[in-house]
Amino acid sequence: METIKCLICLEEKPLKYFKEFGRNRKINYRKKCFKCRYREHRKLSNKKLFRWKTATKEEKQKHMFEIFEKNTQRQENGCLLWTKKLIKRGYGCTSYDGKNITSHRCSWIIHKGPIPKGMCVLHKCDVPGCVEITHLFLGTPKDNVIDMCQKGRKPIRRGELSNFAKLKEEDVIEIKKLLREKVTQEEIAKSFNVSRGAISDISLKRNWKHVLL
């Protein structure tokens, strides 16, 4: 009778203990006996699986720390970049408490705690995929826009570059000349096909300040 030595229990057993059964398959023999494979299966099935609904706050935090260790990479400049899934603009994406969330917001939650309602998590390093907690800070949506403008990520469009502009710089120069000649604002508005308020804003230097006469 042919026998095979099991890799786990190191016992020589007949071939029937090593058979791999299945429909429409050729008979194959494994390197582990049936009893040892069954014990391994029982250990895996009895192992506690992580579930968001039943997990405690500490278990959630530990689970996310393990995910961050696997899916981040340290850079020379000190940034900790997210290497798994990225969405638009280069932000990382993950799941927390059963919901999709950006990786930098998740980093703030597991390190600092919940994010107050209506607040944003901003980057000091200006790298969207960075999840290093020392590079993050809280701010309002207004702070976010100001930060974008200061770092040059949101260029300010004025004059002809604005999507709402109805006049050109040449027209504004003519309007300013007519205002100096004391032509009424209503007449100027009709000739340029704009509202009287637009002419008033030019005369009061609310709009088109950069156009000098």
Domains of the chain: residue spans and CATH: 3-46 (no CATH), 57-150 (3.90.75), 164-203 (no CATH)
**What pTM was estimated for this model as a whole?**
0.54
CB atoms within 10 A of CB 153: 11
Q: How far is CA 186 from CA 5, 183, 197, in A?
A: 102, 9, 9
Cβ within 8 Å of residue 210, ≥6 positions away: 158, 159
Cβ within 8 Å of residue 14, ≥6 positions away: 1, 2, 3
Asked whether the predicted pLDDT for residue 46 surpasses 70, the reply is no
| Tens digits of residue pLDDT in 110-160 | 899 899 998 999 998 888 899 999 999 999 988 888 888 777 766 666 677
Burial class for 126, CB neighbours closer than 10 Å (0-12, 13-18, 19+): middle
What is the structure's pLDDT at 21? 65
Cβ within 8 Å of residue 9, ≥6 positions away: 33, 35, 36
Lowest mean pLDDT among 1-10, 18-27, 95-104, 159-168: 18-27
Looking at every residue in the chain, the average pLDDT score rounds to: 83
Burial class for 148, CB neighbours closer than 10 Å (0-12, 13-18, 19+): middle
Cα gap 147→123, rounded to integer Å: 9
Which residue's entry shows tokens 């940034």? 79
| Tens digits of residue pLDDT in 61-77 | 888 898 998 899 998 88
Burial class for 141, CB neighbours closer than 10 Å (0-12, 13-18, 19+): exposed
Residue 41 or 107, more confident: 107
| Tens digits of residue pLDDT in 84-105 | 888 878 899 998 888 899 999 9
Cα gap 9→190, rounded to integer Å: 97
Q: How far is CA 82 from CA 56, 70, 79, 124, 145, in A?
A: 25, 10, 10, 16, 24
Question: Of 204, 177, 175, 168, which is closest to residue 190 (Cα–Cα)?
Answer: 175
Asked whether the predicted pLDDT for residue 16 surpasses 90, the reply is no
